[in-house]
A and B are shown apart, each in its own frame.
With several copies, the nearest count.
Chain A
Amino acid sequence: MVKAADLMAIVMARLLRDGETVFHGVASPLPMVAILLARRLHAPHLTYLNITGAVGARPTHLPRSTVDAALARGAPAQVTLTDLFDLAARGRLDTVFLSGVQIDRAGRINLSMVPGVRLPGGAGSAALMPTARRTILWRTRHDRRTFVDALPFVTAAGHVDRVVTPLCVFRRISEQLAVESLHSGVTPANLSAATGFSIAVDDSTPRTPAPTGAELATLAQIDPDRIRDTEF
C-alpha cells in the first residue's frame, strides 16, 4: 500500500511540465517535494521558485519550514518575493501550488475564518490564484468539513486546474470540480461520502495510475527524512 503522502507527491509532480516556472509558499512540504521530484524525473528544466526569492535552487536537504534558507541553496539567481508576486501579477508565472482549509465546488478556497475560529490566513493565495496561469490545489484531508458546498469566506479564487487529495484528483472544468481519477482503494461511494458537494463518480471513473518503481525510488532519494509526512 502506497502511503498517501507518497502518492500525493508523485501525482503532484506528474502535473508539472518541463520548462515551466513553479512556485510554492509557506507551509508547503508536498509541493516542495513534488517540484524537486518532477525536476529529477521528467522536468529537468523546471524553474523552482519559493519565498526566499531564490531562482532555480538545488537544495541538498529538505527542511520542515518551506521558507528555509536550505531552499535558496545552489540558486544562480536571487530576487525577492516581491519580484515573484510581480511575475504572477503580469501573467508570467506558470504554476502555483496552493491549499485551503476549506475548498468549494468551484475550487475556491478559505484560509481566513470559519465562524468563531480564526484561521492562519491565505498568505499569497488571493494574489496568486487569479494571476498565475495555473493553480494546483492540494489538501491532505478529504472530508465533508474540508470539501464544502459553500465557504463562509472566500480567501481566494482563480485559475484552479487540479485539486489533489488523499482520495482523488479533481480537475476543474467549466468552473466546477470534476473527479478526474480515483486513487487506489477508494470507491465511488467513499469519495461521495467524503465530499460535501455533489460529484459525478462511478465505476467508470478512471483510476489514478499507480506510482512506478522509479517514481517511488526517486522520491525516497529526494526526501529521505520524509518531510512530506509533516503535512499529515
Chain B
Amino acid sequence: MSKIVSLTKAAALVRDGDRIAIGGNTLHRAPCALLHELVRQGRRNLTLVKTAGSYDLDLLCATGSARAVEAGYVGYENVLGLARGYRRSVESGQVEAHEHSCYTVIAALRAAAQGVPFMPIASLEGSDLIAARGFQRIANPYGEGVVVTIPALSPDVALIHVHEADTEGDGAIFGARFEDALMASAARKVILTCERIVDEQLLAERPDRATIPRFEVDAVVELPHGAWPLACPGEYSYDLDFLTAFAAIASDADAVAGFLAERLRW
C-alpha cells in the first residue's frame, strides 16, 4: 500500500483553517517545497505550529496563508535578522501571534502524542507567557506545590521533510532530528516530503534506521531539494541569495506575490 502521492495531492490533504505543524528548525530542513505548493493552491487561515521557524513561517504570513502562529521564535537568526512578513502581519492584526516557549510547544505536542489533555512542565515561572497564554497551574496530588500545565496541541497535519523515505512512509532523518518525530506522533495526519525514495530494505540495513515510522504517515512525496531555500543537512545549505531577496520584501504582499511567481515559475 504505497503512500506515494504527487505534490499536488499531498498539499490537498491540508485544508483551509487547518493547524499545521512544520518540521525542521530555523533555517534547516523545513518542508518548503510543500509550503510553496500550499501557497500556490491558495490555502488560507492556517495556524502554524513550530518551535523556531524562519522562511517557512515568514512565507505563510507574507502570502496571507496564515491566521495564527504558535511558535517560540520567528526570525532568520543573525543570518538575515527579522522576519518582516510575520512581523507586519502580526502588527496589522492579520495574524495572531500565540507566543510559546519552544519547550511549551514540545509539552503541548507531548500531551497530544500521549493522548492526555495537558502536560505538566517544570519551568516558565516568572514569565508573562503563563498569563498571556492562559496556562493553568494545578496542585501536585502527591505532595506540596503546584505545577504549570500546557494544554495538548494536536495539529491537523504535520509537514516534515526527511532525507529518505520508503513507499510505506518510514522516514529517516540524518543528523539533527529536532521535534519532527514528536510532531508526527501528535498530528492527526502526516505528510513526508523526502530527498529520496529508497527501498524499505535499504532503510533496514542502515544502522540509523528511520525514526518516523510508517504508522504515523499518510502521504510521501519525493521532492529532491524539498527544503530549498532552507538547508537540508548533509545535502545542501540554505540559499542565501534567495532568502536575502525574500526577506527584504517580505513585508510587502504584492512584492512577495510577484517574487514567488517569478522565482518559482508559477
Q: How far in angstroms is the closest Cβ of chain B from A66?
A: 7
Given known A56-B200, A56-B214, A131-B115, contact A120–B177 (CB-CB < 8 A): no
Contact between chains at A80 and B77 (CB < 8 Å): no
- Contact, CB under 8 Å: B170 / A51: no
Interface-located stretch among B34-42, B81-89, B255-263: B81-89
Total A-B pairs, Cβ < 8 A: 239
- A202 interface contact, C-beta 8 A: no
- Given contacts A67-B28, A67-B77, is CB(A78)–CB(B126) below 8 Å? no
A39 lies within 8 A of chain B by Cβ: no
Cα A204 to Cα B185 in complex, Å, equals 47
In addition to A76-B210, A90-B113, A154-B128, 10 A-B residue pairs with Cβ atoms within 8 Å of each other are A19-B1, A68-B27, A77-B171, A78-B175, A88-B123, A90-B112, A122-B99, A124-B103, A131-B122, A155-B127
B121 interface residue per 8 A CB criterion: yes
A81 and B51 within 8 A (CB):
yes
* Most chain A CB neighbours (cut-off 10 Å) among B51, B91, B123, B171: B123
B72–A122 CB distance below 8 A: yes
Q: Which residues of B are at the interface with A, using a C-beta cutoff of 8 A?
A: 1, 25-28, 51-52, 71-75, 77-79, 82-83, 86-87, 90-91, 97, 99-104, 106, 110, 112-116, 121-129, 132, 166, 168, 170-172, 175-179, 181-182, 185, 200-201, 203-204, 209-215, 231, 233-234, 238
Q: Which 4 A-B pairs have the closest CB atoms?
A: A157-B126, A127-B103, A69-B233, A90-B115
Can you report 25 residue pairs joining A to B where beta carbons are below 8 Å apart?
A26-B73, A27-B75, A47-B214, A51-B176, A51-B178, A55-B215, A56-B214, A64-B78, A65-B27, A74-B204, A77-B203, A83-B185, A85-B102, A89-B114, A89-B115, A112-B99, A112-B128, A118-B90, A121-B75, A122-B73, A124-B102, A128-B103, A157-B126, A158-B126, A230-B79
What separation, in Å, do the CA atoms of A78 and B99 have in the docked complex? 28
Closest to B171 in A: A77
Chain A 82-116, CB-CB to B under 8 Å as 1, else 0, gives 11011111111000000000000000100011001
**A86 x B115 contact (CB < 8 A):** yes
Give the complex CA separation of A138 and B249 in angstroms.
30
Contact (Cβ within 8 A) A79 B25? no
B115 touches A69 (CB 8 A): no
Contact partner, B103, options A58, A69, A89, A120, Cβ 8 Å: A89
A125 at interface by CB-CB < 8 Å: yes
Residue of A nearest to B86 (CB): A118
**Across the interface, do B78 and A121 meet the contact criterion of CB distance under 8 Å?**
no
Q: Which residues of A contact B (CB under 8 A)?
A: 19, 21, 25-27, 29, 45, 47, 49, 51-56, 58, 64-69, 72-83, 85-92, 108, 112-113, 116-118, 120-131, 153-158, 230-231
Question: CB-CB < 8 A to B172: which residues of A?
Answer: 77
Residues B25 and A51 in contact, CB atoms below 8 Å apart:
yes
Q: Which of A76, A126, A231 contacts B124 (CB 8 A)?
A: A126
Whether A69 pairs with B175 at a CB distance below 8 angstroms is: yes
User: Once bound together, how far apart are the Cα atoms of A193 and B79, in whole Å?
Assistant: 31
Q: Are A67 and B182 in contact (CB under 8 A)?
A: no
**Chain B residues near A73 (CB-CB < 8 A):** 204
> How far is B206's CA from A74's CA once the two chains are assembled, in angstroms?
10
User: Per a CB cutoff under 8 Å, which of B90, B104, B201 touches A74?
Assistant: B201
- When distances are taken between beta carbons in the complex, the residues of chain A under 8 Å from B87 are 117-118
B-chain residues with CB within 8 Å of residue A90 when the two chains form the complex: 112-115, 122, 185
Measured CA separation A80–B112 after assembly (Å): 18
Q: Is the CB of B185 within 8 A of A77?
A: no
A65:B79 contact, CB within 8 angstroms: yes
Q: How far is the CA of A136 from the CA of B187 in the complex (A)?
A: 27
CA gap between A85 and B192 in the complex, in Å = 23
Whole-angstrom CA separation of A47 from B3 in the bound complex = 14
Interfacial chain B residues near A125, Cβ < 8 Å: 101
Q: With A82-B182, A130-B124, A156-B126 known to touch, is A26 a contact of B215 (CB < 8 Å)?
A: no
Q: Contact: B212 with A77, CB < 8 Å?
A: yes
Which residue of A has the minimal Cβ distance to B238?
A: A65
